[in-house]
Amino acid sequence: MAQPIHELTDRARDVFRIVVDSYLSTGTPVGSRTIAQLSGLNLSPASIRGVMQDLEEAGLLAAPHVSAGRMPTETGLRLFVDGMMHAMEPSAQERATIAAQADSAGPVEEALAGTAAALSGLSASAGVVLVPKREPVLRQVSFVPLSGTRALAVLVGADGSVENRVLETPGAGAAALVEAGNYLTARLSGLTLSEARDRILREIGQERAELDVAARALVERGLAMWSEDGDHRPVLIVRGQARLIDDAASHDLDRVRQLLDELEGKEEIARLLESAQDGDAARIFIGSENKLFALTGSSVIAKPVRALDGRVVGVVGVIGPVRLNYARVVPMVDFTAATLARLLG
């Protein structure tokens, strides 16, 4: 376990901060001679090497090569973030860029995607937004036969959105598909999916639904499928994946391939973001602190988006290399969460 920050001497703290600041800025190790020339510390290179050796023995610094300078370990970065980092508030221009995307006219998901893209560009990382599935207001439902036992269920929302699902339809012929679609469209237009489900199941339960047996079964299966899918599948938006391929990663094709594969596993990313919903502060996962990106050396900063009544209505964050500019990016994520709270709350 690394030393607590208050147990470091002033000299060790100064050298440690310089190494971390240099690494986060350049991504390369820093040597004692560079520190002596640029830091303004009244220390010789030999004295600085001694301090760096002590910091390495404490688990805060590491030398990637025998003759190289030092760089912070993940433990060192955690110590820096928790005990030494001075946050830098977003500039007026950065705040305006984020707010403009969140306030843009159009479907909510387009505003969320634009906000994620803006956060990605400003942080030089991948921007991510996770929100619960928003129920569309229905306009039309239809069933298109695919084979003798399968059909494509098509749900059209009032906002023009279209969702398709493949549905097993044993015993339901073409007439039943048409009957079920016409029935749902006639009775459910203008309702949300949950409202539609409650109304239809009530009518079926009271035997007021004018449907034959096959069409009735089809309606029940279709509603159950969409309901379950909507309840368990949040909307995850990721923008700026290419920004994760830094200079170090570009020379390690296996790492690049694995990183991109992990980004395709949206369920895993969603679970990672959901783990940040408790509490109010941004949660920071550095490198191997999260299992998903442990092998690719990536960090995650995530912040819950809370409505005025305290409900968590989403999570926003960034995924980037461990040498993220945490002091700049954490406040940026905080501001984005507050901005999205007005949109989603």
d(C-alpha 129, C-alpha 238), whole Å: 7
pLDDT at 241: 81
Residue 320's SS3 state is strand
pLDDT at 154: 84
d(C-alpha 160, C-alpha 193), whole Å: 15
pLDDT at 110: 85
d(C-alpha 48, C-alpha 11), whole Å: 9
pLDDT at 222: 67
Q: Full-prediction pTM beyond 0.75?
A: no
* Residue environment code for 296-331, b if the CB has 16+ CB neighbours within 10 A, otherwise e: bbbbbbbbbbbeeeeebbbbbbbbbbbbbbbbbbbb
Do 71 and 19 touch, CB atoms closer than 8 A? yes
To the nearest 5 percent, what fractions of the chain are helix, strand and coil?
Answer: 50, 20, 30
pLDDT per residue, tens digit, the chain (345 aa), is: 556 666 788 899 999 999 999 999 888 899 988 888 877 788 888 899 999 999 999 999 998 876 678 999 999 999 999 989 999 999 999 999 999 999 887 777 888 999 999 999 999 999 999 887 666 678 888 888 887 778 888 878 887 777 777 777 776 778 888 888 888 888 777 887 777 777 777 777 666 556 666 666 767 766 666 655 444 456 788 888 877 765 555 555 666 667 667 666 677 788 888 888 888 899 999 988 888 777 677 899 999 999 888 888 899 999 988 889 999 999 999 999 999 998 886
Q: DSSP letter at 289? A: G
Angle at which helix 174-188 crosses helix 213-232, to 10 degrees, equals: 60
Amino acid, single-letter form, for residue 268: E
pLDDT at 291: 80
